[in-house]
Amino acid sequence: MQRRNSQNVLLSTALNEFYGAADEMGLSEKLVSILSHSERRVHVSLPVEMDDGSVQVFDGYRVQHSTALGPSKGGIRYDLGVDMDECEALAMLMTWKCSLAGIPYGGGKGGICCDPLNMSKREKERLTRTYGARIEPLLGRWNDVPAPDMNSGSQEMVWILDTVCKMRGKLEPAILTGKPVTYWGSFGRNEATGRGVATCGLEFMKALNKHPDTVTAAVQGFGNVGSYTAKVLNEAGVKVVAISDITGSYYSPGGIDIRKAFEVIHNNPKKLLTGFEQIGNCEKIDDVLFADCEFLFPCARDGVINYDTAGKIKARYIVEGANGPVTPEGDKILDESGVVIVPDFLANSGGVIGSYFEWAQNLQGEFWSEEEYNNKLIKIMKNNFRLVWDYAEAKHVKMRRAATMAAIQKVADVVEMRGIFL
């Protein structure tokens, strides 16, 4: 059988990891063929009237990789790098992430190719509502359930939900997650991904017989995921010595005051430099990835640890908070150096688990307390980490391969059981 290949780094990485795991598992060629292709890929054009009266047409995408285990689940990102291949790669990763997490979802992903930082709020609203109208036929509580992703948040989810509900003439809060608490959202959802990444990191330390008080860590990215990862780690006793955002990287061997860093980004979103002097006794460095620390948490974007950067990393342990932050070339270099990695679709699954909680509450018309939400999340994250750690130990494989194999097997079993619809 001829296997797919792609020039897109992220899609190529996802496919190669899948094929490698499938070969090691002895998966049938039939199942390999089915699971290496997405069920549906949609490309929509989005004409938007800009504030100056001109009209720009943007490209939007939505990919449903698999609905074998349930409705497709995945975020909507706004970025100039968004294209079909990227969405397909991330949708495939979402399939494995949901499977491994043990939640009743398949994998999906969507996005719009745009520069949201150079758009006004009104322009972004028009773009978002047009996108929502274009993908409306796909959305449904048992079909496809989007959520926020890069450069999107609760406001964008409200715009899409409002658009779709007006088109359908009825309220359907369960078709989207990541909504604000005041409008069918859930307490705890905003910090779920970061809390999940930190929980995996803390369980990783426990498995290595390391006490948090003795550990130093660096967190790349101080957005929603990275900031809460740093906060939870810091509260557990970990000394966070380096953080970064779009303005640069900041380092303090004695530990950065994460509470003050939070205050800075609250007053100046995504701009740590604005409050640099308020953060404490720290200095600006070239790159947080190369900080002198034991644990590294890349929580920004994909492909940052690659052939050119992997050899410069001083950390001995990596927990992937972002999707695909380590390329195959980078992975090989790190492996040869003895660096142990907790893979992304295990470490950052707290977001989709949190989305599942919100969806479940919406379906039942019920609202949980933040404590109840967090307790459920932490329990699942701990159990999932232990499952993968034990699997890797038993099979003598790296954690990425162990997680991939365990996730693929569950989806493959259901696809085989359901059969092919003719």
pLDDT one-digit tens code per residue, 301-334: 888 999 999 999 999 999 999 988 999 899 999 9
- Taking residues 172-189, what's their average pLDDT? 94
**pLDDT band with cut points at 50, 70 and 90 for residue 280:** low
Reading the block at residue 129, the tokens are 């509502």
- pLDDT above 60: residue 216: yes
pLDDT one-digit tens code per residue, 352-386: 999 999 999 999 999 999 999 999 999 999 999 99
| Kind of pairing between the strands at 295-298 and 72-79 | unpaired
- pLDDT above 60: residue 401: yes
pLDDT one-digit tens code per residue, 39-64: 999 999 999 999 999 999 999 999 99
How would you classify residue 387: left for phi > 0, otherwise alpha for psi between -120 and 50, otherwise beta? alpha
CA 377, 379, 385, 387: dihedral to nearest 10 degrees?
A: -130
Q: Which residues contact 261 (CB under 8 A, 6 or more apart)?
A: 222, 227, 230, 243, 272, 275, 279
Distance CA 149, CA 157 (A): 10
pLDDT one-digit tens code per residue, 118-159: 999 999 999 999 999 999 999 999 999 999 988 999 999 999
- Which among 254, 267, 322 is positioned nearest to 289, based on CA atoms? 322
Q: Which ranges in the chain are annotated with CATH 3.40.50.10860?
A: 39-173
Q: Is 395 a catalytic residue?
A: no
Q: Which ranges in the chain are annotated with CATH 3.40.50.720?
A: 192-347
Decide: helix, strand or coil at residue 184: coil
Predicted local distance difference test score (pLDDT) of residue 269: 63
Predicted local distance difference test score (pLDDT) of residue 403: 92
Catalytic-role residue among 30, 73, 97, 109 = 109
What's the whole-model pTM score? 0.86
Predicted local distance difference test score (pLDDT) of residue 11: 92
Residue for token pair 């790296």: 398
Q: Which CATH architecture has domain 192-347?
A: 3-Layer(aba) Sandwich (3.40)
Q: What is the dihedral sign for C-alpha 335, 340, 345, 351?
A: negative
Distance CA 318, CA 327 (A): 13
Predicted local distance difference test score (pLDDT) of residue 202: 98
- Taking residues 184-206, what's their average pLDDT? 94
CATH class of 39-173: alpha beta
Query: What is the average pLDDT value for the chain, to the nearest integer?
Result: 93
